[in-house]
Amino acid sequence: MVDPITDPEILQGYLTDASNLPGHADALVRPRTTAEVAEVVAHCQAASLPLTVTAGRTSTTGSAVPRGGWLLSTERMDALIAASTDTATAQGGILLGALQDQLAAMGRQYPPDPTSRHDCTLGASIATNASGARSFRYGPTRPWVAGLEVVLPTGEIVQVTRDTPIPADWPVLQWTEPAVKTAAGYAPPRSLLDLFIGQEGTLGVITQATVRLTDLPADVLGLLVFFGGRTTAVDAMRTLRRHARADPAGAVSPLCIEYLDHHCLALAEERVRGVPGGARAALFCEQAVGPSGADEHLAAWLAVLKESGAIVDETWVADDHAGRARLQALRHAIPAGVNERVLANGMPKIGTDLAVPDAGLDEMIALYEAAPMEHVLFGHLGDNHLHLNLLPRTEAELVTARAYYDQLAKRAIALGGTVSAEHGIGKLKRAQLSWMVGQPVLSQFAALKRHVDPAGVLGRGNILAL
């Protein structure tokens, strides 16, 4: 078996993730092969020793934070094994962005694009059913996974595909997910493969994945479109969304429709000049460029945007290196500004990951904008999935922020939405998950977990308080 590392200085670098939740562990193992993973998992199961899988540690929900026991890092399992026109097979520890760059050099595309793609791993992105801005066009990770190699909590190695049935003795989940983009809890499975996508390291360790590929766009046109108000921007999104749904390959068929509120624009203007003085909201959009070139797309976009009330003459267009650099600078200025506020306030930010059906979007945005403290609002408007970042300045405001977050979550649920559209549940959103699915469904989750993982070894504290 891989020798465990117990050096406290080495361990310290593995004890938290992007949530900043503190953790503790007794040892770290860094296997290179599936066989070594299986040996470690079997050892921990026999010893009833908690085992937390860690990779890029980009989770915002504490899912990679250990609650004692051992840590298993997949960082040394980072090989691209094979690639063809239709699929690619890689070890679970390969960085997602590195995999995508290698495939792009071959003219192929693996579409899921979480913001952390250059820091997160393929296996972890599958274990959380990650998505990102382009999920508007391509959907989340789930439909792009063709097969997995998984080490079960008992140490058994299994190969699963879309055709692999759920074992007859496993409890069968029976519940209905909300009809929105969601990454909350165990998905109602159509096959065994579905159970291992989005399970947050609680039902198995993903050691290898075969993913589906699609055509790589010849080029991508970027547009930052400014509006005089939020209502106009949201109405424009709906127009763009209608075009995309009517003709996914048309002249106006966005890959993503991202929203920036006026607080975002103010943060950007502090660092990147050029935001129009009358702008109170903006949409960032991308358009895959077809064989006829960018000009046809751009003309069609500008016509639609003019009719939608955009500040068309001030639209930023990225169709070359300089344009892309300008857009990138503005987008990076917003999280940089948020981080500065967090450091200055000395308080953590409280961020939402809620999504609602089309009919509930306006109400949720109004609630976001009514936040009782400094905040910024941005995100995946095309999916009705926005991230509100509350920025408390005092302990009292932190308490208020957490209570307001809960209020928002309950309203999203009432509207038919989800408490997590892309970040998962981890250790921080278990209460909100219980509000969303109810105790009978949680009991189904727990029955499945106990059957697959008798000693409750894997991912202890993720999704369930087990």
User: pTM above the 0.85 mark?
Assistant: yes
- Number of folded domains in the chain? 3
Q: Do 290 and 403 lie in a common domain? A: no
pLDDT digits (tens, 9 = 90+) for 119-157: 999 999 999 999 999 999 999 999 999 999 999 999 999
Question: Can you read off the two tokens belonging to residue 144?
Answer: 């792009």
- Among 216, 235, 262, identify where a domain stops: 216
CB 453 within 8 A of CB 196: no
What is the 8-class DSSP label of residue 5? Answer: B
Nearest to 288 by CA among 277, 296, 279: 296
Question: Can you read off the two tokens belonging to residue 13?
Answer: 């670098």
CATH of the domain at 115: 3.30.465.10
Q: Do 355 and 233 lie in a common domain? A: no
Residue 282 is predicted with a pLDDT of 97
**Residue 402 banded pLDDT, cuts 50, 70, 90:** very high
**254 located within any domain:** yes
Residue 368 is predicted with a pLDDT of 98
CATH of the domain at 414: 3.30.70.2740
Q: Which amino acid is at 223?
A: L
What is the 8-class DSSP label of residue 254? Answer: E
**464 located within any domain:** no
Q: Do 108 and 225 lie in a common domain? A: no
Cα–Cα dist 454/203, whole Å: 11
In 166-229, alpha helices (H): 192-196
Q: CB-based burial of residue 177 (10 Å sphere; 0-12 exposed, 13-18 middle, 19+ buried)?
A: middle
- Among 345, 369, 386, identify where a domain stops: 345
Question: Can you read off the two tokens belonging to residue 313?
Answer: 């003459």
- Tell me the average pLDDT of the chain: 95
**Residue 179 banded pLDDT, cuts 50, 70, 90:** very high
pLDDT digits (tens, 9 = 90+) for 94-121: 999 999 999 999 999 999 999 888 999 9
**Residue 325 banded pLDDT, cuts 50, 70, 90:** confident
Cα–Cα dist 463/258, whole Å: 28
Residue 466 is predicted with a pLDDT of 80
Q: Do 76 and 135 lie in a common domain? A: yes
Residue 162 is predicted with a pLDDT of 95
**Beta carbons within 10 angstroms of residue 399's beta carbon:** 11
CATH of the domain at 256: 3.30.70.2190
- Among 159, 185, 216, identify where a domain stops: 216
CB 144 within 8 A of CB 201: no
CB 284 within 8 A of CB 260: yes
pLDDT digits (tens, 9 = 90+) for 3-20: 999 999 999 999 999 888
pLDDT value at 272 more than 90: no
Give residue 418's domain range.
346-441
